[in-house]
Chain A
C-alpha cells in the first residue's frame, strides 16, 4: 500500500464573525492517490471552495482560520509549514483554477508577462528558455497561435481563451495537484465540453491529481472517478462515480439526484424542501435532519459517524446502523 498523495484529515475551517462562529468546513476528511480525480459536489455555500482554499492555506484572513485537522501532501503536513515555505508549494506543487476567467487575469499586463511570472517565481528559467516554456504551455492548452497570444492583452481574448490561459498559468510549473474550482461555470456549453476534454487529456498525460469542484452532476460523471458530496461543511457521502449514480445511499444525495432535470418525464422537478441550515447556528445532531424524509429521533441528537457500506463507499447517516 503506497502513501496517499494527498490526505486531508478532519479539516475544520471557521470564520469568526460578529454573528458568531461560522463553521464553513467542519471535519472534512478524504484522501487521494496520485493521478486520481475527486469531484466535490454540493450546493452553493456548502464549503467546497473553502475546503480547496484551506488546502492551499489561503482562507480569507483575518476572519477565516483553519482550526483543526491535518493536510498531508506526500506525507508532509502543510499546516506546519511557514508562510514562506507555503509560497513554494503554491503554484509549484498545488495549483488552483478559479471560477471566473474574466477577472482571473490582470487587465494591465500582457498574457506573456502573466504567464512568465509563475515561471520566474518557481523556476530558474530566464530569457529565451523562459519564453520557450511559455509557448510550450500555451501549446499544451491548445492555443492556436502562442506567439500572438503572448503579446495580447486579456481584454482581447474570448472567455474560453482566457480560461485556457489561466489553465496554462496554473500548469506552467508542472504542479502535481490541480484544484479546479467550478472552472466552467462562466463558459457556454460547447466551450465547456472542449475545456473539460482538454483538462482530462492534460491530466492523463501529466498524471495530475485533480480536485474538481462543481455543482453539475453531468460534469462529475464526465470528469471524475470518485465523488464527495458536501452538505453544510461536511462530506456526507463519498463513493466511486458509478456507485454513487446507481445507488445514492445518503438521503441528501438521493434528493439531489432526483432534482436533476430529465428530458423524458413531464413531472414537476423534485426539489428539497427547506433551506440549508445557517452555518453559524447548526442544529444538534445530523445537519440534514430538518430536511430529511427519513428522519428518526436519534438523527436530531447526535451526528452520525462515518460508515463504509461497501469498499470505497462511505457515508454518514443513521439509516445504516
Chain B
C-alpha cells in the first residue's frame, strides 16, 4: 500500500511539474524518462533473462534515426514514433536471431560488435545518415491523427506530456510483462538455462523474445530524442552510449523492477553534481561501478529494500 501511494504521489508530482519547473528542469526530466525506458528494456535482458548486452545503443539509434528520417519528410509525431519503434523492433529481431544462439561472453561481444556496426553505418553513410554531422533540422512535429485531432508540440511542456504519457505506458506494460508467465520464464532461463530447457522451455525462442522487447524499448527511447533535440548524431549508437543503461541499472539495482528507473534518476543527479566539481566525471562513474560490482550487486534499491529481488 505504501508503495502504491508513493507511486501515485510521484505521478502527480510529475504531472504538475511544468507548473513550477523551468524549461531546463523539464528538459532534464525528459532525458531521465528516456534513460528509464532505455534501461528498463536493457534490464529485461540482463536482470530478468541473464544476458548482458553492450549494444543496446544500436537499437536506440535505429529508433532515433528512423524517427528523424520520417519526421523530415512527414512531420507527424505519431508516425515518427511508430515508425522508429517498428524499425528498431525489426532490427532487434534480426540481430537478436544472430546473437541469441551464443553463450554469455560471446553474446556480450556480439552485441557490442553489432552495436558498433550500426555506429559505423551512422558515422560513415553520409547519404542516409548525414555522416558525422548527423541529421539536423528535425521538427518537433505536432501530435496528430489526421481528421481527429492535432496538438502543437512547439512548447516544451506539450512535448513533456507526450513523453511522460508514453513513459508511464511503457513502464506499466513492463510491469505487466515481468509479472506474467513470460516474465517468470525469462527468470527461469536466467537462473538455469539447462533446467529451463528440462521443464519444457524453448530457451532460444524466449531469449529472442526478450531481446526484441529490449530493442523495442531502446527504440522507443530513441524515437523521443530527435523531436526534443532537433538533431541526431552518431554518438547515440556508440558503445559508450550503450553503457548508460548498463550503469543506470547497476546503480539502481539489477534484480528489481524499479532499479533502472531509480538508477536513471541517480545517474543524472550524479552527473549533475559531479560535473559541478570536476570535468572528470567518467572516472567517478568508473569508481562507482567498481564499488558496486565488488560490493553492492543489488544497487541502491537493495540498500533500501530488504529484498531487492522478486519484484
A and B interact: no
